[in-house]
Amino acid sequence: MNYWLFKSEPESWSWRQQKAKGAAGQEWDGVRNYQARNFMRAMKVGDRGFFYHSNKERAVVGVVEVAAAAHPDSTDPTGTWDCVDIVAVAEMPNPVTLDMVKAEPELAGMVLAKNSRLSVQPVAEAEWRKVCRMGGLEKA
DNA sequence: GCCAACGTTGGC
DNA sequence: GCCAACGTTGGC
């Protein structure tokens, strides 16, 4: 199983909205970046991901699961872009902020800390476990 | 609100 | 194929 991070501006799509979707899942559409697209193409059903709020909040707020592998983005008429479907599976008891990530030496290698502009990113297993622990999730 | 970082576009 | 110009993202 692989781990990922999905970044969203809460103003356009928030964790609250994702949770409200429940098991119905949500197309992670609107991504227009080749690197991000390629990561989504590499995802498998059952992979886990962090749900990160960018801009004002800047924190990992929840955990999601990939519910459908990459398929054409229904909002893209050109057929260039793909997306996966995700469902909310757990909420961080304590959101892990970007500041916390940057202050933690074990997380110095996280893409989140190094490349702030990439909206879909891979997360190493050790990083995954560390962030879960910091957020108050024993396992996710 | 500003600006740095990054990706994309288009002229040559 | 290079690179300057431009647009966008997101942290500060």
**A52-90 residue pLDDT tens:** 999 999 999 999 999 999 999 999 888 889 999 999 999
Which window residues (100-129, chain A) lie with Cβ within 7 Å of strand B? 114-115, 117-118
Q: Is residue A29 part of a domain?
A: yes
Total structural domains within chain A: 1
Nearest 5°: phi and psi at A54? -90, -170
Mean pLDDT of A114-123: 94
Q: What is the pLDDT of residue A77?
A: 86
Q: Is residue A27 part of a domain?
A: yes
CB A32 within 8 A of CB A81: yes
Residue that is written with structure tokens 């080749």 in the block: A34
Q: How distant is C1' of B12 from CA of A91, in Å?
A: 53
Q: What is the pLDDT of residue A139?
A: 61
Q: pTM of the predicted model, to two decimals?
A: 0.95
Q: Is residue A78 part of a domain?
A: yes
Domain that holds residue A107: 3-132
Q: Is residue A140 part of a domain?
A: no
Confidence of residue A138 (pLDDT cuts 50, 70, 90): confident
Mean pLDDT of A91-115: 95
- With a 7 Å cutoff on the CB, does A116 touch strand C? yes
Q: What is the pLDDT of residue A140?
A: 54
**Residues paired with residue A51 on neighbouring β-strands, in sequence order:** A6, A62
Q: What is the pLDDT of residue A78?
A: 86
Q: What is the pLDDT of residue A120?
A: 97
Q: Is residue A138 part of a domain?
A: no
Question: Which residue from A50, A83, A49, A51 is spatially nearest to A68, judged by alpha carbons?
Answer: A83
The torsion of the CA quartet A94, A20, A115, A35, rounded to 10 degrees, works out to 150
Q: What is the pLDDT of residue A35?
A: 94
Q: Quote the mean pLDDT of chain A.
A: 95
Confidence of residue A49 (pLDDT cuts 50, 70, 90): very high
pLDDT higher than 60, residue A43: yes
Q: Is residue A139 part of a domain?
A: no
Q: What is the CATH number of the domain that holds A60?
A: 3.10.590.10
Q: Is residue A118 part of a domain?
A: yes
Question: Which residue from A71, A67, A50, A48 is spatially nearest to A59, judged by alpha carbons?
Answer: A50
Q: Which nucleotides of B are covered by protein (CB under 7 A)?
A: 5-8
Which window residues (30-69, chain A) lie with Cβ within 7 Å of strand B? 33-35
